[in-house]
Amino acid sequence: MLLDIRNLTVEVEGKTILKNLSLSIGFGETVLLMGPNGSGKSSLIYTLMGHPRYIVKEGSIVFKGKDVTSMSTEERVKLGLGAALQFPPKVYGITLRALAKKIVKDEAEIEALASSLNLTNFLDREINVGFSGGEMKRAEIFLLLLQKPSLALLDEPDSGVDVENMVLVGNAIGRLLSDSSRTAVEKPSGLIVTHLGYISRYVLTHRTYIMQNGRIICYGPTENLVNDVLKHGFDWCTKCYGDRFPCTYLGDKV
Ligand SMILES: Nc1ncnc2c1ncn2[C@@H]1O[C@H](COP(=O)(O)OP(=O)(O)OP(=O)(O)O)[C@@H](O)[C@H]1O
Ligand SMILES: [Mg+2]
């Protein structure tokens, strides 16, 4: 198992946000995470990356067989965790190219990835300063893909991106996560937060989890769950699966 989150309870500013949450991702697997606003999806990503405000009260995070629950963000990144945040910060005084060069030495690789994400004209601008929402999203994904993480945590890569750029973003993420020429052990894994599931058109996913109120309430095949959520909403998930936490997808029960 690449990532094993066991019975995780997390507090931020004294408020319990994640509640006894368990979730596992195998080598080469990509999973989607869906859930209503405020259900704790981004908090899970911050917690996995070791953000100091997110305090683990119970449970553990095991990554590549190591308990990383108390590790610093830097140590986690060195082990192969990487994230593209929902709301990346502006970084004044540092250009996108300067940071990219800290990640990889090969300028041609930087240029090629920037071009594939329609970012060539942004390389010499300060990171995210004055970027539009979609440009910021592409820049964040660019920096994550350069890192070539073993587990890519992507928070809403398909929100706020226009149709043409969605194709570029989807294909770039797909190249990282769905490369069929690589064996499962070599292939990076992914945890992708999405509201509408567009990203699943570009990335082969192994399953989808639904989160509500800090808990995983069900999981199952992406196609079924994305369609059901878009058709019926999240309340339907609670009604359908509500008494059995967590439970697998059992077919259309509406
Ligand atoms: N630093 C913080 N201080 C106080 N409350 C916080 C903090 N961080 C998160 N929360 C609260 O935790 C809950 C979960 O937030 P989170 O950002 O994880 O939701 P989300 O599932 O990512 O939602 P969205 O779909 O809107 O991005 C929210 O109610 C949020 O207000
Ligand atoms: Mg969020």
Pick the residue whose CA is nearest to atom 26 on ligand 1: 37
List, in order, residues 6 or more apart from 233 with CB less than 8 Å away: none
Q: What is the largest CA-CA distance in the chain?
A: 54
Residue nearest to atom 13 of ligand 1 (CA): 38
Mutating to test ligand 1, I would choose from 41, 45, 193, 194 the residue with most ligand atoms within 8 A of its C-beta, which is 41
Nearest ligand for residue 215 CA: 1
For ligand 2, the distance from its centroid to the CA atom of residue 67, given in whole angstroms, is 25
The predicted pLDDT at position 218 comes to 86
The ligand 1 atom at the shortest distance from the C-alpha of residue 36 is 25
Nearest ligand, measured from the Cα of 14: 1
Q: How remote is the CA of residue 108 from the centroid of ligand 2, in Å? A: 33
Residue 100 domain-assigned? yes
Flag whether 253 is in a domain: no
198 within a domain of the structure (yes/no): yes
> Prior bond to 221 cis, omega within 30?
no
**What stretch of H or E contains 6?**
strand 3-12
Query: Which ligand 1 atom is nearest residue 39's CA?
Result: 21
Is residue 227 situated within a structural domain?
Answer: yes
**Where residue 185 sits, what CATH number does that domain have?**
3.40.50.300
Tell me the Ramachandran region of residue 28: left when phi exceeds 0, alpha when psi lies from -120 to 50, beta otherwise.
left
Ligand 1 atom at shortest distance from the alpha carbon of 53: 1
Question: Which residues form the pocket of ligand 1, taking CB atoms under 6 Å from any ligand atom?
Answer: 12-13, 15, 17, 35, 37-43, 53, 86
Give me the amino acid identity at 137.
Answer: K
Write down the pLDDT at residue 252. Answer: 52
Host domain of residue 66: 3-248
Tens digit of pLDDT for each residue in 42-71? 999 999 999 999 999 999 999 999 999 999
pLDDT value at residue 247: 53
Cα–ligand 1 centroid distance for 41 (angstroms) = 8
Take atom 29 of ligand 1 and give the residue whose Cα is closest: 38
* Number of domains observed in the structure of the chain: 1
Q: How far is CA 120 from the centre of its chain?
A: 24
| Residue in the block written with tokens 């979609």 | 134
Point out the ligand nearest to the CA of residue 37. 1
Answer whether residue 254 is part of any domain: no
For the packed helices 107-116 and 163-177, what is the interaxial angle rounded to 10 degrees? 130
Given a contact cutoff of 8 angstroms between Cβ atoms, the answer to whether 176 and 152 are in contact is: yes
| Residue 43 alpha carbon, nearest atom of ligand 1 | 18
Q: Which two tokens stand for residue 165?
A: 């750029």
pLDDT, position 241: 57
Q: Which segments in the chain show pLDDT lower than 50?
A: 243-246, 253-254
**In terms of DSSP bridges, do strands 54-63 and 3-12 run parallel, antiparallel, or are they unpaired?**
antiparallel
User: How high is the pLDDT of residue 249?
Assistant: 56
